[in-house]
Structure 1
Amino acid sequence: MVAQLIWIAAVYSSAVALVHVLHNREKSRQARESGKWIQYILITRNHESVVEWYIRSLTFHAFLTGKPLRVLVMDDNSSDTTMGIVSRMARGGCSLELATAVPALGQEEMSKSRGIILDLRLSGQTVRWPMMQLDGSRGSKSKHGDI
Structure 2
Amino acid sequence: MVAHLLGILITYAAAVALVHGVHARYIKQWQGRRRAVHYVLVTSNHERQVEWIVRALSLYALLSGVRVKVTVFDEQSNDRTLAILQRVAAHVGVELIVIEMDEQAKYQLKHMLRNTRKKDDRSIYIDLRGGGEAARIPYW
**TM-score, length-scaled by structure 1:** 0.59
Q: How many residues align?
A: 104
Decide which moves more: 107-116 or 44-53.
107-116
- Alpha-carbon contact 2:128-2:134 (below 8 Å) kept: no
Residue ranges of structure 2 left out of the alignment (5+ in a row):
1-27
RMSD: 2.9
- Alpha-carbon contact 2:113-2:125 (below 8 Å) kept: no
1:128 is displaced (CA, Å) by 2.5
Once the two structures are superposed, residues 58-107 of structure 1 have per-residue CA deviations (whole angstroms, 9 ceiling, x without a partner) of: 11111111111100011001011101000111123542011111514178
Report the Cα distance in structure 1 between the residues aligned to 2:55 and 2:38, rounded to whole angstroms. 14
Report the Cα distance in structure 2 between the residues aligned to 1:41 and 1:84, rounded to whole angstroms. 18
Sequence identity percentage: 32
Structure number with greater Rg is 2
Aligned CA distance change for structure 1 residues 55 and 32 (closer, same or farther; 3 Å): farther
Structure 1 partner of 2:114: 109
Q: Match of 1:78, SS? A: coil
**Using CA pairs below 8 Å that are at least 6 residues apart, which structure has the higher relative contact order?**
2
Report the Cα distance in structure 2 between the residues aligned to 1:36 and 1:81, rounded to whole angstroms. 33
Please show how residues 29-68 of structure 1 align to structure 2 within 5 Å. Answer: 33-34=32-33, 36-68=35-67
Residue ranges of structure 1 left out of the alignment (5+ in a row):
1-28, 133-147
Decide which moves more: 104-113 or 94-103.
104-113
More strand by percentage: 2
More helix by percentage: 2
